[in-house]
Amino acid sequence: MTKAMANQIDTPALELRSPDAVMRLKRLGASFPTRLSFLRSLIRRLGSDGAVLRKTAWSIDPRGYGHAVYTVRLGDHDYSLVAFSCPLSDDQRSDRVIAEAWDTSYVLYDGTPGSADIERLRQNAPLQEAGRFGPRDLVLSRANKSVRFFEHVVDSLSNGRQPDRQRLGEIGYLVRTTAVYGNGKFGIADRSLIERREGLGGPFQAEMLTVWLIREFSHDLVEHVAQARSPETFVPLAPDLRRHLGVGNSTGLGMAPFLANHPVLLNNWILARETALARVRALVTLGPPDVERIAALWLQAKRHLGQWTVDDALLMQRIERLRREWDEAEPMISPARLLSTPLPVARLLACSQDKSLDFQELLAALLIEMAGADNDDLADTMAAAREGHLQVAMKLATLKNLILTHYRWALALSFSDPAETAQFWYVSEEKLEPRLGERRHEAGAELELPLDIARQVQQLLRDIDALPPELSVAAFLARYPAHRHAARRIQSAATAPYAEIRDNLISAECLPIDMLRCKLAFFGASKFDPRSDRWTRITLFQGAPTAREIAAGETDNCWLPVLT
């Protein structure tokens, strides 16, 4: 990073992008991971701590069944992944959250477990939701093998050769999680127990640590089975292939409402990213190292796009368009142009506005990546101690002004149009997970979750207009208690401009996959692979440093994974 960049970073001269543009579902559904993504924050913390992973137990038989314990110190605490691997018949294998058996199950344990703890978890972890857990159990997870690929890797290593690189690049993981539960779910520890600990204070850091440790276990498991099969000819995974193997994940509707249910947290995530982008956009000049960095990242993104192929026809069309746009736009980053143009980053972003949302958001992610560690301080701003509280003394006139200022998008909708109320969110009785129903064709609308934010705002404004503007919110809610939820959200908008998805979440046009991709990009996911508009497969930690590399001093350099 040049001295010019460092001098500009504290006082950005340009404004942040408008929430009216940023907080639309289609743009959120074009999100890419950035340096502020949660798994990247974890990798940096592990690296700064010089974290050393200890395999404190390994009781795995030649077929790959048994248990193992991995312990790592983060901040001032030890954390242990307790992993169990069990036989699983093909008829029990499923990516769905309603499955009842898995190849592997895991608990992130607070400290180093003793034999009694391991035995307790052996009885409960494979049961997952049906198990019983305690306050030292921080995260609960499970995963299935990518069976054919896992066997291919075992067969290859046991016969003295590396797995097929193209196949490894296409799949990218040995196991695929179907849930990573934290924050008190099913009796595990509440987040409040760990939220002030060094290294775990940011969003989803305990969950990211769990997935990173699962990745290490999957690498060791496949090598263990291969070596047991043929110890004379076995070879370990090549370091570059081991690094490219992440952890797969299948994520569905259960995750989608999270963003709407945590508006202040969502604001903090988006605000951090938009602040990082504004800082870079404000640069008056770029130096040769910055330009070289942009060129290298541009090539990395191009290679990543070339290795990103999905079955979903609509996303594949978007990827192919993005590949073409990326190639056509490469002259925009020529050294002569970037070094001679005032405000070169701002001009780059302006020139991208006639291209697809995918191009615009990939370019934004690249420019944040170019800035490197200069934006890492923003990662500390992304948690939320609590969501907004109700300000009962506020006058109705002030509340109405907030609506007119921040919710014009909601007021523009016409709920007399059946298409605007075509869907409804509810909680599945079977798995206690959010689901999305078709109002005209499915029962259960009377149990609808309050995710109809725009409709609530309109109803609230109508009732406000029927009462004196000097009336307090407390007096108003005494008469209309059903508006409490909406009033609190609206009051938060004054200090949280990115808190609200500015689209109708119950319209026929709402695609949950857009919410999923937004959240998963903040996790650090790559290679989104939608299986419908309601669930997707992804990969986490692909291309990230392994435990060996972090112990050897490897830095965070895993923006978009590429197998070279």
pLDDT for 503-525, tens place per residue? 999 999 999 999 999 999 999 99
Cα distance from N-terminal residue to C-terminal residue, the chain:
26
pLDDT score for 3: 40
Instruction: Return the axis-axis angle of helices 484-492 and 263-281, rounded to nearest 10°.
Output: 20
pLDDT score for 442: 86
Pair 523, 541: CB distance under 8 Å? no
Pair 230, 155: CB distance under 8 Å? no
Q: Specify the 3-state DSSP secondary structure of 94.
A: coil
pLDDT score for 63: 96
For tokens 């640069």, name the residue.
283
Segment 114-125 shows an average pLDDT of: 96
Pair 46, 550: CB distance under 8 Å? yes
pLDDT score for 96: 59
The residue ranking higher by pLDDT, 174 or 440, is 174
pLDDT score for 8: 38
Rounded CA Rg of the chain: 25
User: And the tokens for 377?
Assistant: 């301080």
pLDDT score for 88: 82
Q: Is the pLDDT of residue 141 over 60?
A: yes
Segment 54-65 shows an average pLDDT of: 97
Residue 498 banded pLDDT, cuts 50, 70, 90: very high
pLDDT score for 10: 44
Segment 345-370 shows an average pLDDT of: 96
Segment 224-246 shows an average pLDDT of: 97
Single-letter code of the amino acid located at 80 = S
Q: Is the pLDDT of residue 9 over 90?
A: no
pLDDT score for 97: 58
Q: According to DSSP H, which parts of 66-162 are helical?
A: 115-124, 147-158
Dist CA 394 CA 391 (whole Å) = 6
Pair 31, 518: CB distance under 8 Å? yes
Residues contacting residue 426 through CB under 8 Å, at least 6 positions apart: 434, 435, 436, 437, 444, 445, 447, 448, 449
Q: Which of 397, 64, 424 is nearest to 257 (CA)?
A: 424
Q: Is the pLDDT of residue 185 over 90?
A: no
The residue ranking higher by pLDDT, 251 or 304, is 304
Residues contacting residue 38 through CB under 8 Å, at least 6 positions apart: 202, 203, 204, 205, 208, 522, 523, 524
Q: Is the pLDDT of residue 301 over 90?
A: yes
Dist CA 74 CA 197 (whole Å) = 9
Q: Is the pLDDT of residue 198 over 70?
A: yes
Dist CA 532 CA 553 (whole Å) = 41
pLDDT score for 387: 79
Q: Which of 359, 178, 375 is nearest to 273 (CA)?
A: 375
Instruction: Return the axis-axis angle of helices 396-406 and 453-465, rounded to nearest 10°.
Output: 140
Express each pLDDT in 304-315 by its tens digit: 999 999 999 999
Instruction: Return the axis-axis angle of helices 288-306 and 357-371, rounded to nearest 10°.
Output: 130
pLDDT score for 11: 44
Strand positions, DSSP E, 357-433: 423-427
pLDDT score for 6: 36
Residue 100 banded pLDDT, cuts 50, 70, 90: confident
Pair 184, 191: CB distance under 8 Å? yes
Q: Is the pLDDT of residue 14 over 70?
A: no
Dist CA 125 CA 109 (whole Å) = 12
Dist CA 196 CA 209 (whole Å) = 16
Express each pLDDT in 358-373 by its tens digit: 999 999 999 999 999 9
Q: What is the dihedral of CA 105, 111, 115, 120, to 10 degrees?
A: -50
The residue ranking higher by pLDDT, 195 or 38, is 38
Average pLDDT of the chain to the nearest whole number: 92
Segment 345-352 shows an average pLDDT of: 95
Q: According to DSSP H, which parts of 161-238 are helical?
A: 165-171, 205-229
Residue 13 banded pLDDT, cuts 50, 70, 90: low
Q: Other CB atoms closer than 10 Å to residue 50's CB: what's the count?
A: 11
Q: Is the pLDDT of residue 152 over 50?
A: yes
pLDDT score for 563: 93
Residue 433 banded pLDDT, cuts 50, 70, 90: confident
Segment 487-493 shows an average pLDDT of: 93
